[in-house]
Amino acid sequence: MKGDKIPDQHHIARYCKPTHAPDGQIQATAFMLRLGEENLSINCLELLNCSGRENEVAQLQTIYATKLSVGARAKIAVLNVGEVRNHVLDESPDRRNLKVLHDPQSEDPSHSGIYNLREDDELIAELIL
C-alpha cells in the first residue's frame, strides 16, 4: 500500500540507463536524484510476486519497456534494502536514515522510492552503489 515501509529483508531494483553504466559498470550517478525529484525511483522485487530472481528481473524488463526507452546496454541494479539503509546510516557523516517506501503506480504495482536524499548527494550515491 502506498507509503508502506519496504522491509529490510526485501530487495529493490534500480534501472540504470547506459550512460550510468559505461563499460557495463554501474556508476554512482545512477543513484542520484535528478532536478525536481523528491525520491529515487526503484522497484521492490518481492512485490512482483514472481518465483525467483530471474523471473522478477524479466517482469521488471517488461514494466520498464512500457515506461522507458530501454537502452540495449542498460543495467538493473539489485540491492538488499537493509544492507543499503544500514551502510548509508553507518558510513555517512550525517548518519543519514534513508526511507524506502512503497509508491505503486497503476501500471507498476512494485514501484517504490528511496527518500531522504538530496540532489547533490554524491557521497550517499556512492554509498548506495
**What does pTM read for this prediction?**
0.92
Please write the tens of the pLDDT for every residue from 13-32.
999 988 899 888 999 999 99
Is the pLDDT confidence value at 119 over 90? Answer: no
Residue 28 CA, chain-centre distance (Å), reads 12
Q: How confident is the model at residue 53 (pLDDT cuts 50, 70, 90)?
A: very high
Calculate the alpha carbon distances from 60 to 43, 67, 75, 81 in Å.
8, 11, 11, 17
DSSP state of 100: E
Rounded Cα–Cα distance for residues 127 and 129 (Å): 5
